[in-house]
């Protein structure tokens, strides 16, 4: 039987489950209830149960969840039990920040190389991954089995990098360029909008002003 | 009457509305229906209407939304019609990437300074903002009216920067350090988890394998 595509809301919550379970496991917690997990994550116990049941249900009535088992299962669901080969287009601040980021390097995501057109950067290495000239990008893709392209170029170059990767059979793109890229046939894409969380934060500040009566505006128009 | 706190789901969707409306406005679109906006954003027409009604309702039956008006209103709701003074703790790749990021600099978010303990970085500038030594962080906060602290330090230093900012009356923290910081009394915080979107992407690849029957595992345990 074919599985239904999991909703974006659930797909977005999965990494949060994994993070919290990893922290709990590291703190020596072996079991907890859906209510306790919900309190940690800002979700209701029933949302927790629904989400986890979506993947088969790992809890037991009256016992709750076994933390290491649930963490391992959610990790497998996200494919963290295997290696993911990545390349990064753009070796500027964002590209280098991604190559340095510790969290996912420990989870099997491996950066094989970075690509840039800046001759001053070519020849350097970031965390052992060489910075190569973009002119060899296509031949590199042909010679290596790359699963994920990280796009950290200026907006104007993002589409070209994506198209070259798609043609070479790369399966997914993690896009940091400030432009929403539509997904080529057969690929998955995640568009990261760094400033979205800043704007949500700014909204919360404005909301707080309104709640405290310190602002002249209200949401509701007269 | 006091307003209720808007749900996290709606607060998270607001920046997406703003982004899409900005693009539509730039493309010369002046009006569109909730159905059209929903298709662009991957939401149903009824979700769109519900979200927007939450803020007072800017649409007209049979006309839809006036794009520039709705964009301006959502911008005001997020406080984008005023300046936000920020400082960045940590002038490594992430801190510098944030200072360079073009999207929010155009929306009134202004970086006044970066702080680091690395003497090699102190004295440089990023987009006109000086990199200062962390030893002057507290006195800088006392002398400037800073609204938002960006935390781009290693995990071990994040809490100290947050506490100093909280004591100085900074209202919000935008945290890129790979550690979930709990929010001090009176502050708002957004914890950014860069790798979450990568893990969601990895999940989608695994899901695709399962749907296409290429993987041996299924969600549902036997």
Mean pLDDT, residues B68-96 taken together: 94
Is the model's pLDDT at B131 over the cut of 90?
yes
Please give the structure tokens belonging to residue A189: 């894409």
In whole angstroms, give the CA distance from residue A66 to residue A71. 9
Q: Are A129 and A111 in contact (CB under 8 A)?
A: yes
Q: Are B148 and B109 in contact (CB under 8 A)?
A: yes
| Distance (Å) from the alpha carbon of B31 to chain A's nearest alpha carbon | 20
Nearest by CB: A15 against B76, B147, B199: B199
Band of pLDDT at residue B155, cut at 50, 70 and 90: confident
What is the reported pLDDT for A33? 93
What is the reported pLDDT for A167? 96
In whole angstroms, give the CA distance from residue A159 to residue A86. 17
Cα–Cα–Cα angle for A151, A135, A140, nearest 5°?
70
Contact list in B for residue A53 (CB cut-off 8 A) is none
What is the reported pLDDT for B69? 92
- Edge-to-edge strand list for the sheet holding B109-116: B125-126, B129-133, B109-116, B84-89, B148-151, B172-175, B188-191
- A217 reaches B (C-beta below 8 A): yes
Helix (H, G, I), strand (E, B) or coil at B172: strand
What is the reported pLDDT for B217? 53
Contact list in A for residue B206 (CB cut-off 8 A) is 77-79
Helices vs strands, H then E, count in chain B: 9, 9
Query: What are the DSSP calls for B133-169, one per residue?
Result: EGGGHHHHHHHS---EEEE-S-HHHHHHHHHHHHHTT
What is the reported pLDDT for B159? 93
Q: What stretch of H or E contains A202? A: helix A194-211
Listed by number, the residues of chain B in 122-151 with a beta carbon closer than 8 Å to a beta carbon of chain A are 147-148
Nearest by CB: A211 against B2, B57, B204: B2
Please give the structure tokens belonging to residue B195: 């790798």
| Distance (Å) from the alpha carbon of A209 to chain B's nearest alpha carbon | 10
Q: Are A156 and A179 in contact (CB under 8 A)?
A: no
Band of pLDDT at residue B215, cut at 50, 70 and 90: low
What is the reported pLDDT for A221? 46
Q: Are B15 and B41 in contact (CB under 8 A)?
A: no
Mean pLDDT, residues B146-168 taken together: 95
Q: Which of B199, B206, B218, B219 to mutate against chain A (most A CBs within 10 Å)?
A: B199
Shortest CA distance from B187: residue in chain A = A205
Shortest CA distance from B91: residue in chain A = A93
Yes or no, beta carbons of B190 and A200 under 8 Å apart:
yes
What is the reported pLDDT for B152? 96
Nearest by CB: A94 against B92, B97, B188: B97
Contact list in B for residue A219 (CB cut-off 8 A) is 3, 54-56, 77
What is the reported pLDDT for A185? 87
The chain-wide mean pLDDT, for chain B, equals 89
- B42 reaches A (C-beta below 8 A): yes
Give the closest residue to B18 by CA, choosing from B33, B1, B40. B40
pLDDT lower than 50: segments of chain A = 1-2, 220-222
- A219 reaches B (C-beta below 8 A): yes
Mean pLDDT, residues B167-186 taken together: 90
Helix (H, G, I), strand (E, B) or coil at A157: helix
Yes or no, beta carbons of B198 and A104 under 8 Å apart:
yes
Here the contacts of A186-192 (C-beta below 8 Å, separation 24 or greater) are A188/B201, A188/B204, A188/B205, A188/B208, A189/A162, A189/B201, A190/B197, A190/B198, A190/B200, A190/B201, A192/B194, A192/B197
Nearest by CB: B79 against A18, A76, A205: A205
Percent of chain B with pLDDT over 90: 64
Nearest by CB: A200 against B14, B23, B55: B14
What is the reported pLDDT for B222? 36
In whole angstroms, give the CA distance from residue A114 to residue A99. 8
Contact list in A for residue B203 (CB cut-off 8 A) is 6, 11, 14, 77-79
In whole angstroms, give the CA distance from residue A43 to residue A86. 33
Q: In sequence order, what are the beta bridge partners of B192?
A: none
What is the reported pLDDT for B104? 77
Shortest CA distance from A213: residue in chain B = B2
Is the model's pLDDT at B221 over the cut of 60?
no
């Amino acid at each position: 039987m074919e599985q239904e595509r999991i909703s974006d809301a659930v797909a977005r919550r999965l990494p949060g489950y994994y993070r919290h379970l990893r922290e709990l496991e590291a703190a020596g917690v072996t079991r907890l209830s859906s209510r306790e997990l919900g309190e940690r994550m800002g979700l209701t116990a029933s949302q927790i149960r629904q989400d986890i049941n979506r993947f088969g249900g790992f809890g037991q009535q009256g016992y709750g969840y076994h933390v290491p088992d649930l963490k391992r299962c959610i990790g497998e669901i996200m494919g963290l039990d295997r290696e993911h080969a990545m390349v990064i287009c753009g070796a500027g601040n964002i590209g280098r920040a991604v190559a340095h980021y510790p969290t996912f390097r420990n989870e099997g995501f491996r950066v094989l190389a970075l690509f840039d057109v800046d001759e001053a950067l070519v020849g350097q290495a970031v965390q052992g991954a060489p910075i190569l000239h973009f002119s060899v990008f296509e031949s590199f893709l042909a010679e290596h089995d790359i699963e994920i392209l990280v796009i950290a170029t200026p907006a104007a170059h993002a589409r070209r990098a994506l198209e070259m990767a798609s043609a070479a059979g790369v399966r997914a793109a993690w896009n940091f360029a400030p432009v929403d890229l539509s997904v080529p046939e057969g690929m998955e894409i995640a568009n990261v909008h760094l400033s979205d969380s800043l704007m949500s934060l700014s909204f919360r500040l404005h909301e707080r002003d309104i709640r405290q009566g310190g602002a002249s505006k209200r949401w509701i128009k007269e």
